[in-house]
Amino acid sequence: MNREKTAAVVVTYNRKELLVECLVSLLKQSYSLDAIYIIDNDSTDGTLDYLLGQDLVGPPVGIKGEPSETVKAVASMALSDWPIEIHYVRMPENTGGAGGFHEGMKRAVAAGFDWLWLMDDDLWTAPEALAALVRKKDALRAEPVLLNSLVLARDQADGDTLAFPLQELTARGYPRRGIYHWRLSEVQDQVHDGLYQWACPFNGTFLPARVVAEVGLPNKEFFFWGDEKDFLWRAAKRFHLYTVVDSQVFHPPARDTGFDWRQYYNIRNMMIVNRHFNLTGLRNLRLLVWSLVRGARHGRTGLALVLRAIGDGWAGRLGKRDDLHP
């Protein structure tokens, strides 16, 4: 059997130090990647110069107003005779996580890669993470699967605390409402053959290129938050979802960003994501009550933001809202 080609897709914006840590961890994989696609959402913190200084990329070239790209072969840090193509793609503007994954996955699939490993720039991958995913996808070859690494909290050393919760699926494949497991030990009785039936999208998500052919690319019009969930539940209609518990990746702990422009996208986009599930009205009602309560704590500005998000979500109006951003 020929070795299938795998590309990592990493989306970044203004986090150059974390990005380099992520890239180094990818270069140290015991099962080497064939390529890494870095999608830089027009960072303003000197990301390109930083990467050039680390000798990880070359100067990008392109037409003004279009994404520019450079490709550089870098040796694997685990297999010195294995070159890895690093594609650095600089977007002409910030297209958000949604636009970044749309662009990176589109390029990797068009280039003929068989499997994609998706992540943001703040993910750190253990050296055996990709090897564990490859072993499982080979074992499950007869089954259409989308796999995910186990996302552990980076500030914990217990190997049990999760950065994002594992949820549970109903018999019909919907997420159970109100169930969130923040420790691996809480679901050990539901782990079979090293697999747990859930996925944490775009945080170490490992999928065959055929997923894109069957369900399409991430919807770039989500811009920020929600695109990964929308893509996941589109894929779940055709592919089984599993977390591979032996594939460990690490993510910084989630932090409260307050109530600002991000909440507009969270509310609006989740109203649309909820259309994938049963009890859509109930799910949206809970979302709206929670949002209105939070917005009211921030006076007229907060309520106006929530009402705008509700109106746009109800109407299905997506896209980037430049007037909301700082």
* CATH code of the domain covering residue 207: 3.90.550.60
Task: Give the model's confidence band at 1: pLDDT under 50 very low, under 70 low, under 90 confident, else very high.
Answer: low
Instruction: Say whether pLDDT at 313 is over 60.
Output: yes
Band of residue 22 on the pLDDT scale cut at 50, 70, 90? very high
Tell me, what's the pLDDT at 108? 98
**Mean pLDDT score, 248-253:** 95
Same domain, 231 and 302: no
Do 275 and 132 lie in a common domain? no
Pair (57, 28) in one structural domain: yes
- pLDDT tops 80 at residue 224: yes
Q: Structural domain tally of the chain?
A: 2
Short-list 175, 297, 152, CA closest to 233: 175
The pLDDT of 202-226, averaged and rounded, is 97
Q: Is residue 141 pLDDT above 90, yes or no?
A: yes
Average confidence (pLDDT) over 149-165:
95
pLDDT attached to residue 254: 76
Q: Which domain holds residue 30?
A: 6-251
d(CA 82, CA 73): 10
Do 215 and 317 fall within a single domain? Answer: no
Flag the least confident range among 87-101, 110-124, 277-291. Answer: 277-291
On the question of pLDDT at 193 being above 80, the answer is yes
Final residue belonging to a domain, choices 217, 251, 285: 251
Report the SS3 class of residue 6: strand
Q: Are residues 107 and 168 in the same domain?
A: yes
Task: Assess whether 200 and 285 both reside in one domain.
Answer: no
pLDDT computed for residue 2 by the predictor: 77
H or E segment to which residue 102 belongs:
helix 96-110
Q: What is the crossing angle of helices 299-315 and 280-296, to 10°?
A: 160
Report if residue 256 sits inside a domain: no
Residue 198 inside a domain? The answer is yes
- Residue 154: predicted pLDDT: 94
pLDDT confidence tier of residue 185, bands split at 50, 70 and 90: very high
Question: Contact at 8 Å (CB) between 154 and 162?
Answer: no
Question: Is residue 145 within 8 Å of residue 240, measured between CB atoms?
Answer: yes
CA distances from 114 to 33, 63, 169 (A): 11, 29, 28
Residue 258 has pLDDT above 80, yes or no: no
- Residue 177 is predicted with a pLDDT of 86
SS3 category, 7? strand
pLDDT at 100: 98
The count of C-alpha atoms lying within 13 angstroms of the C-alpha of 106, restricted to the half-sphere facing its C-beta, is 14
Quickly tell me which residue has 């055929």 as its tokens: 210
Mean pLDDT along residues 217-240: 97
Does residue 277 form part of some domain? yes
Q: Domain check: are 288 and 144 in the same one?
A: no
Answer yes or no: do 229 and 316 share one domain. Answer: no
pLDDT-derived band at 325, boundaries 50, 70, 90: confident
Q: Which of 187, 219, 251 is the last residue of a domain?
A: 251
Residues 133, 169 within the same domain: yes
Does the residue 314 lie in any domain? yes
- Is 1 within the bounds of a domain? no
Q: Pick the closest to residue 311 from 272, 283, 262 (CA basis).
A: 272
Does the pLDDT value for residue 176 go beyond 80?
yes
